[in-house]
Amino acid sequence: MSFRHADILSAAQFSRAQIEQWFARADDLAARLARGERLRTLDGKMLATVFYEPSIRTRLAFEAAMQRLGGGVLSLADAKTATAISGEPLPDVIRAVAHLADVIVLRHPDAGAACVAANASAAPIINAGDGTGEHPTQALLDLYTLRAERQTLDGLHVALVGDLKHSPAVHSFARTLSEFQVEFSFVTPAALAMPTAITDDLRERGFSVEETNDLARSLQTADVVYMTRVCKERFSDLKQYEKLKDFYLLTRALIEKAKPGLSVLHPLPRANEIAAEVDALPNAAYFRQVKNGVVIRMTLLADILAD
Amino acid sequence: MSFRHADILSAAQFSRAQIEQWFARADDLAARLARGERLRTLDGKMLATVFYEPSIRTRLAFEAAMQRLGGGVLSLADAKTATAISGEPLPDVIRAVAHLADVIVLRHPDAGAACVAANASAAPIINAGDGTGEHPTQALLDLYTLRAERQTLDGLHVALVGDLKHSPAVHSFARTLSEFQVEFSFVTPAALAMPTAITDDLRERGFSVEETNDLARSLQTADVVYMTRVCKERFSDLKQYEKLKDFYLLTRALIEKAKPGLSVLHPLPRANEIAAEVDALPNAAYFRQVKNGVVIRMTLLADILAD
Amino acid sequence: MSFRHADILSAAQFSRAQIEQWFARADDLAARLARGERLRTLDGKMLATVFYEPSIRTRLAFEAAMQRLGGGVLSLADAKTATAISGEPLPDVIRAVAHLADVIVLRHPDAGAACVAANASAAPIINAGDGTGEHPTQALLDLYTLRAERQTLDGLHVALVGDLKHSPAVHSFARTLSEFQVEFSFVTPAALAMPTAITDDLRERGFSVEETNDLARSLQTADVVYMTRVCKERFSDLKQYEKLKDFYLLTRALIEKAKPGLSVLHPLPRANEIAAEVDALPNAAYFRQVKNGVVIRMTLLADILAD
């Protein structure tokens, strides 16, 4: 499919061929930026960020990507407060912003909010995290980073660790990985397990999916570990959160006992699940993910807003 | 009068000739944007938005307008919080920002705040809503939309409905309409009546002004209905607000019984006064208003900041 | 030293020669702006503002400076709220933003935070106020303003007044002034005295430093008075703040009795320490400081981001 003027709502929209085409373009953009080339592909276009929950990396990476392509930015960093008094519903906000901008990046606490927005909008919607739903552009940058770290996306054993119940990034990442030949380990306490819809789908399509709560053991065979923060904001019972928040901690000692060459990813922000001592190891790819986030968003915006 | 380097504080500054000149320029700008032309009229100029109360449409429309003319933007989306600790007074904030930007767009909860700001400022001030005062650029985009919907601004019967006491948009809109040959119906519960200063002024100048609380009846003769939200933030007594907030609801059924071809406007955001079922009717012009808001602000900014 | 790709953390980094070179460049930039020249020196570069406490002037002056040089801006005006739920530590935020922007301007409530950030960052950090620490770029614009007001920076008697304990601007200003031949009066109630580290350092280096609580008397000999706000946000005991907040008030009467030609500076925002009646006097330079803030930040950004 073409993504010209299309919404990006779910990683289920991404085929292997599409992903590979985007990554080739992202490589090209990265090379041009590295040469100091000034791009003006989206000169005269406008991107709006509409964020009902804060996000530093995602909002700023989209705003940086748009500006690095010569486009303009409208920033609504706190849509929750801006709509608090009037109680203006999401579709009204989106319908209005769609008349001000050429593309809208939406972050919202409710799963499905990006679909609601897309139905209301005359402009393409990019889902930048809809509660426990999906975060498809995060998955693309995760995958792009993984390709840079491993040179291939096939034949990898990937352990997804932590709050697989709530993290929209991990839902999208699992879907995207399933376009490649991978094995999965889902490493969680029982209360934070991956939604069965995703696990069942992967198994039906023939993937090996291990479910375990034993991080150390899963690291014996994993090539990649994708850590996640326990999403405090999704717990109605904070006592439950307190019990679960420190369930896993990836340390230098654990990495030393793991399969050699382990790649460590994290969508960030982290809370307590990766020790600071890990940051200096070559395994730690999570700050490289941030950098890749700009070039991936540049690729998507150029595609969606192509004339 | 010329608006070069001038403040825009009240719709009382707008003559019919001025309005018609602006609308002709707005038509021209809209045509150039539609052709994909990239404008750079305000390259090197800077606009600051200083908002003591949130506004999605007004702030972003000004920021979009400035960028679509090639200018830069400084965004102070939450001036209330930014001044909370120091208690810095409005004139100090404005005097400072006037040294950073070439024009300032101000939203403030107090009627008269835009005048206070203009007295302090070396840069032109655009009043983007001063409490229950005025919102003159909203009135211009309302009028511009009405002209597009009706092809003329003379001979219309306009019903203004809802919170005519507090809505600054409706105060400015009534003043602006009075440059044309129109009849007014002010449709409100008694507690939300249009300020007598406005009503008296219109009557003294020979306008027919009906005051009623009967929406259905006023729609028998109105060509245009301008709905407004009951302004919760202006009530010290929330019980009073609760009693009044659902006084009117414009439904599809009401429109079917109204004079054919009724145009429905609303400055947005709406709370409960227009049913969602109305959105799909050709009568609903309120999202077209948002789009027109950009080109009208482009026209004004180009005029104010002309060399 | 060269400031290419360097952090700006403390005014202690600024030599007299460096300051004079910057001021010559600032003069040149100001002249080019005044001629309406459009500068594009930083086209394709990106500045991020990361503010854990609000600041109107500092944030907007940096954002204006970057845009006036053709660069782009990423604005994180409320980093405190954005990190509240995850508890993301400062180094993680900075490490991430350093992959999105070419330079980071940081405001933070903790003294030393700018150093922590610089240690974590791949991009240069500009300290825009770290609690009671320093605010070096404010000191530069203060000094640049003083030079414009007095034609020289040598031979001046400078009275620093108010909350010399907490104000980071005044800590940086005193250090910067000490590159020139000046005499100091520190005018404070005992509870708000200048940190002894600064006072001792100045005295060891041979400067005359008077400590007094008598504003009227110090104005008999001062050429320059630098007023400061009592920093409410640094008091754990608000009763203590209430006792101290109105300790000094600079009035027209005080200025009339002072040494003729007194220059009045203030980093702003002010609370109650300068009467509004002073604003119209030629002595009042504090709004001219704001204007100078843009050209000084342009000078620094151009230097730091030079290819």
Q: What is the pLDDT of residues C249-291, one digit of tens each?
A: 999 999 999 999 999 999 999 999 999 999 999 999 999 999 9
Å between A260 CA and nearest CA of chain B: 49
- Terminal-to-terminal C-alpha distance of chain A: 16
Predicted confidence at residue A2, as pLDDT, reads: 82
CATH, range B136-289? 3.40.50.1370
Predicted confidence at residue A243, as pLDDT, reads: 96
Whether the Cβ atoms of residue C200 and residue C265 lie closer than 8 Å to each other:
no
Predicted confidence at residue A151, as pLDDT, reads: 96
Predicted confidence at residue B2, as pLDDT, reads: 81
Interface probe with C: pick from B50, B86, B88, B121, most Cβ of C within 10 Å: B86
Burial (Cβ within 10 Å: 0-12, 13-18, ≥19) of residue B35:
exposed
Q: Do A92 and B270 touch (CB under 8 A)?
A: yes
A217's CB contacts (< 8 A; 6+ apart) are none
Residue B307's pLDDT band (cuts 50, 70, 90): confident
Predicted confidence at residue B95, as pLDDT, reads: 97
For residue C39, report the phi and psi dihedrals to the nearest 5 degrees. Answer: -95, 145
The DSSP secondary structure of B15-68, one letter per residue, reads -HHHHHHHHHHHHHHHHHHHTTPPP-TTTT-EEEEEESS--HHHHHHHHHHHHH
Å between C270 CA and nearest CA of chain B: 6
Q: How far apart are CA B189 and CA B174, in angstroms?
A: 18
Give tens-digit pLDDT for A169-198: 999 999 999 999 999 999 999 999 999 999
Of B73, B79, B96, the CB nearest to C57: B96
Nearest chain A residue (CA) to C84: A54
Q: Do C269 and B83 touch (CB under 8 A)?
A: yes
Q: Which residues from C are below 8 Å from A55, CB to CB?
A: 82
The pairing of strands B156-161 and B224-227 is parallel
SS3 for B148-210 is HHHCCCCCEEEEEECCCCCCHHHHHHHHHHCCCCEEEEEECCHHHCCCHHHHHHHHHCCCCEE
Query: Rounded to 5 degrees, what angle do the CA atoms B153, B156, B158 make?
Result: 110
Q: List, edge to edge, every strand of the sheet that includes C209-212.
A: C209-212, C182-187, C156-161, C224-227, C263-265
Q: How far apart are CA C187 and CA C221, in angstroms?
A: 13
Domain B11-135+292-304, classified CATH 3.30.43.10, yes or no? no
Q: How far apart are CA C214 and CA B79, in angstroms?
A: 35
**Architecture of the domain made up of C11-134+290-304:** 3-Layer(aba) Sandwich (3.40)
Of B78, B269, B294, the CB nearest to A86: B269
Closest CA to C33 of C85, C80, C69: C69
Question: Does pLDDT of C2 surpass 90?
Answer: no
Predicted confidence at residue B10, as pLDDT, reads: 98
Question: Does pLDDT of B1 surpass 80?
Answer: no
Instruction: Tell me the average pLDDT across A227-242.
Output: 96
The pairing of strands B263-265 and C46-51 is unpaired
Q: Which residues from A are below 8 Å from B291, CB to CB?
A: 99-100
User: Cα–Cα distances in Å, from B28 out to B37, B63, B133, B295, B298?
Assistant: 11, 20, 31, 9, 11
Residue C248's identity, in one-letter code, is Y
Instruction: Tell me the average pLDDT across A252-273.
Output: 97
Give tens-digit pLDDT for B48-88: 999 999 999 999 999 999 999 999 999 999 999 999 999 99
Dihedral sign of CA atoms B113, B71, C79, C300 in order: negative
Å between A36 CA and nearest CA of chain B: 23
Query: Rounded to 5 degrees, what angle do the CA atoms A34, A35, A38 make?
Result: 95
Q: Which residues from A are below 8 Å from C87, CB to CB?
A: 271
Query: Rounded to 5 degrees, what angle do the CA atoms C116, B80, B170 make?
Result: 145
* Residues of chain A in Cβ contact (below 8 Å) with chain C: 36, 38, 54-57, 60-61, 63-64, 67-68, 75, 77-78, 229, 232-233, 268-271, 287-288, 290-291, 293-294
Number of Cβ within a 10 Å radius of residue C237: 8
Q: Which residues from B are below 8 Å from C75, CB to CB?
A: 75
Predicted confidence at residue A307, as pLDDT, reads: 85
Q: How far apart are CA B61 and CA B63, in angstroms?
A: 5
**Calculated CA dihedral for residues A104, A134, A68, A30, nearest 10 degrees:** -150
Would you call A158 helix, strand, or coil by DSSP? strand
Residue A1's pLDDT band (cuts 50, 70, 90): low
A240's CB contacts (< 8 A; 6+ apart) are A191
Quick one: tokens of C29?
């930039």
Question: Does pLDDT of C307 surpass 90?
Answer: no
Predicted confidence at residue C1, as pLDDT, reads: 61
Predicted confidence at residue B273, as pLDDT, reads: 97
Using CB atoms, list chains with 3+ pairs below 8 Å to chain A.
B, C
Q: Do C64 and B79 touch (CB under 8 A)?
A: no
Quick one: tokens of A251?
């340390």
Q: How far apart are CA A306 and CA A6, in angstroms?
A: 11
The model's pTM = 0.97
Residue C39's pLDDT band (cuts 50, 70, 90): very high
Residues paired with residue A106 on neighbouring β-strands, in sequence order: A50, A127
When the pLDDT of each residue in chain C is averaged and rounded to a whole number, the result is 97
Domain ranges of chain C: 11-134+290-304, 136-289
Domain A11-135+293-304: CATH superfamily, name plus number: Aspartate/ornithine carbamoyltransferase (3.40.50.1370)
Give tens-digit pLDDT for C149-189: 999 999 999 999 999 999 999 999 999 999 999 999 999 99
Closest CA to C126 of C219, C51, C222, C37: C51
Closest CA to A159 of A66, A61, A76, A265: A265
Give tens-digit pLDDT for B85-138: 999 999 999 999 999 999 999 999 999 999 999 999 999 999 999 999 999 999
Q: Do A232 and C76 touch (CB under 8 A)?
A: no
Q: Do C290 and B76 touch (CB under 8 A)?
A: no
DSSP percent split of chain A into helix, strand, coil, nearest 5: 45, 15, 40
DSSP-assigned letter for residue B277: G
For residue C161, report the phi and psi dihedrals to the nearest 5 degrees. Answer: -130, 135
In this prediction, what percent of chain C has a pLDDT beyond 90?
99
Query: Rounded to 5 degrees, what angle do the CA atoms C208, C209, C214 make?
Result: 130
**ipTM for the predicted complex:** 0.96
Q: How far apart are CA C26 and CA C30, in angstroms?
A: 6
Residues paired with residue C156 on neighbouring β-strands, in sequence order: C182
* Residues of chain C in Cβ contact (below 8 Å) with chain B: 36, 38, 54-57, 60-61, 63-64, 67-68, 75, 77-78, 229, 232-233, 268-271, 276, 287-288, 290-291, 293-294
Instruction: Tell me the average pLDDT across C3-10.
Output: 97
